[in-house]
Amino acid sequence: MISTDTEPKVNIEIAGKLGLSADEFERIKEILGRVPNYTELSIFSVMWSEHCSYKNSIAWLKKLPRKGHHLLAEAGEENAGLVDIGDGLACAFKIESHNHPSAIEPYQGAATGVGGIHRDIFTMGARPIAALNSLRFGNIRSARTRHLMKGIVKGIGDYGNCLGIPTVAGETYFEDCYEVNPLVNAMSVGIVDKDKVISAISKGQGNPVFIVGSATGKDGIHGATFASEDISDESGEKLPSVQVGDPFQEKLLLEASLEVIDTNALVGMQDMGAAGITCSSSEMSEKGHCGMRIDLDKVPMRQADMKPFEILLSESQERMLVVVEKGKEASVKAVFDKWDLNCTQIGEVTEGNMLQYFMHGELVAEVPADVLVLGGGAPVYHREYIKPSWYAKNKQFSIDSIAEPENLIEVARHLATHPNIASKHWIYYQYDSMVGIKNTLTNHAADAAVVRIPETDKGLVVTVDCNGRYVQASPEYGAMIAVAEAARNIVCSGGKPLAITNCLNFGNPYDPEVYWHFVKTIQGMSRACLKFNTPVTGGNVSFYNQSADGGAVYASPVIGMLGIMSNPEKHLGMAFNQANDLIYLLGSSRNDIASSQYLDSWHQRRDCPAPYFDLDEEFAVQEALTILNEKGLIRSAHDVSDGGLFISLLESAIQGNCGFNIQLDEAIRPDAFLFGESQSRIIVSVDSQMKKLFEQTLKECNIKWSMIGTTGAKLLKIGDQNFGTVSEWAELYNHAIEQAMEE
């Protein structure tokens, strides 16, 4: 008999307050054959929230390409993607959001986002060796943005640095639409022996179930529900929904979790993230087609008199649920005792599919596992979507409507100091990028991070990329560009793209125009992933990044891409490091300034499509660069992206403290040539003695290209104009954000 004596009486009104619709409430009653009690309703509310069930996105997510010969797990099968990288090793990697918590408590919101994504990796038996992040903020001149940015960056840095995992790459954008809703996307990359991968599964009737790690408190209760609603004036009142992290405890848990694998006693293990014990017990049970009996009063607690629903829904950090082979409990406990961590049996695996939760011997909730989870009985919705009325007008944009600037140097200075383009060293200097000494970027700046794979000559090449302005303007093409730029960055660093993880950040899915952006983004991402043979291994959908006052954020599908570098001698950097080298542009410049930073912030125009992009052309340019690199014909490579050709040249010059002298293209407007962001372009530097062989190889590649100038001295010269010295521009570029943060 289910206990209801000490709980409020459940009705539609209470269901609504917990985020459930009237139809969902009726469906729950049908599933149970009775009215649920408050604990059971709370269980459904978190598991059927958007954050856990993906009920408004899963139908479209299934259309993404999810198969590949090097994938060891399809999207959604495990806590993270798993890719075969040879030598008996696999790479586990994933990106997730922690947007809402960071909006109301930036330090802990960001810190626990980092902790959670790393747990997803080492829960699988993989040791995290690299972290990345993708951040979005409002106007850097606003006090709120600076407050959020300081807290979020410090939270990421403190947690990752204490954990001893280097932050090797990232990106940061500033747009007014993120003022209320910052985006904090964290990515983790780990290495595991293929024969030591641990699955998030429960099976074997009678096998004991343990909770390990930290004690359980009241932080994070209904955090999954909180993440599945718009930010409002009342959001600050939900501060208890934000978890509190302890990186030192996580370090102990990491080492203990990897060590316990060697006991050969584990059946399965899963991180307790969103929805805590509820999510872990239900997902592990559903995967193993079994049930569980859990005694909630046995859970180690750090607060007295916690109610059953609080224990079940708590998202206290640094905890795992572990299923152990019966009879091997002692060896598991010995490992966690060694690391001074809780390791308490709280239940056992049962036959059937029922989850039974007890408190002091009294049954307080009984729910079938399969009806709770994504891919099981959780709701699946097909939302209405409508093309926005402004979309057709955007496509009519013409460069002829924009006056050419009188002073190109002024525009260049504006772009070099814009926070979307200027150096992010104020951010990444707060991160430890050298711990573990596997990060090669510390002495070899490149478009993507290259991390050495222990005990091999190989390297993992990783990046995160997305320009939300492009996706907002033309979601299908913007999403293709995000995938293409990630691949381009990996190729420009000497790697080969393998697979992606994604973090899809959007507004309210009930808004048909927001949902149209989501649908078109999925379609564009699918096309690009198929072209580059980079299947989607998993990721995260974050809806409800929207507020009543500020509207929705830009559609921001952040792409985390994994690549492999088999030969370290082919590692490419971006720096111009020798005078009198030839500078070539692979690909074609065009009279295109659409959605460029130049058009957006200099001319204040946003009624335009995404920049020019052709998927086949992009693929051909990347293939050509790979061939040139394999033949040893280039010294450096750097893609043309935010800020256009000038910014790419400037960054290469600053990195190598070496200037350049280039000529304008008379067939193209100077502002479009220098600042336009048409895609599929890469600048490379070439030893002049290799000119003949280089150009012959390019002709065989059948792509468009041009020699635009040479490297040399410490000056930047464009046409007949002297733009100044490398050191002058480096001072502007390197300190713009620092100065803005001190205002």
Told to judge if 425 belongs to the known catalytic residues of this protein, a careful annotator would answer: no
Distances (CA, A) of 350 to 206, 297, 357: 6, 19, 12
DSSP 405: P
Of 293, 310, 290, residue with least CA distance to 302: 310
Q: For 541, list phi and psi in degrees, rounded to 5.
A: -110, 130
**C-alpha span between 678 and 669 (Å, rounded):** 13
**C-alpha span between 677 and 599 (Å, rounded):** 10
**C-alpha span between 414 and 416 (Å, rounded):** 6
Residue entry with tokens 């806590």: 79
Q: Which class for 319: exposed (0-12), middle (13-18), buried (19 or more C-beta within 10 A)?
A: buried
Q: For 548, list phi and psi in degrees, rounded to 5.
A: -65, -35
**C-alpha span between 393 and 396 (Å, rounded):** 5
Q: What is the largest distance, in Å, between two alpha-carbon atoms of the chain? A: 87
Out of 69, 70, 98, 638, the active site residue is 98
Q: Identify whether the C-beta of residue 257 lies closer than 8 Å to the C-beta of residue 572.
A: no
Tokens of 419: 């926070």
**C-alpha span between 726 and 720 (Å, rounded):** 17
Q: Which class for 267: exposed (0-12), middle (13-18), buried (19 or more C-beta within 10 A)?
A: buried
Told to judge if 414 belongs to the known catalytic residues of this protein, a careful annotator would answer: no
**C-alpha span between 374 and 365 (Å, rounded):** 20
- Strand 682-686 and strand 449-452: pairing? unpaired
**C-alpha span between 509 and 58 (Å, rounded):** 12
- Strand 459-465 and strand 556-565: pairing? antiparallel
Out of 51, 100, 418, 517, the active site residue is 51
**C-alpha span between 264 and 315 (Å, rounded):** 28
Contacts of 137-140 with CB under 8 Å at 24 or more apart are 137/172, 137/173, 137/174, 137/178, 137/179, 137/182, 138/174, 138/175, 138/176, 138/177, 138/178, 138/179, 138/180, 138/182, 139/174, 139/176, 139/179, 140/174, 140/419, 140/737, 140/740, 140/741
Distances (CA, A) of 582 to 201, 569, 585, 594, 623: 57, 21, 10, 29, 21
Number of C-alpha atoms within 13 angstroms, CB side, residue 487? Answer: 31
Q: Identify whether the C-beta of residue 550 lies closer than 8 Å to the C-beta of residue 177.
A: yes
Q: Is 210 left (phi over 0), alpha (psi -120 to 50) or beta?
A: beta
Q: How many CB atoms lie within 10 A of CB 211?
A: 26
Tokens of 551: 């509207």
- Strand 715-718 and strand 660-662: pairing? parallel
> What are the residue numbers of the active site?
51, 98
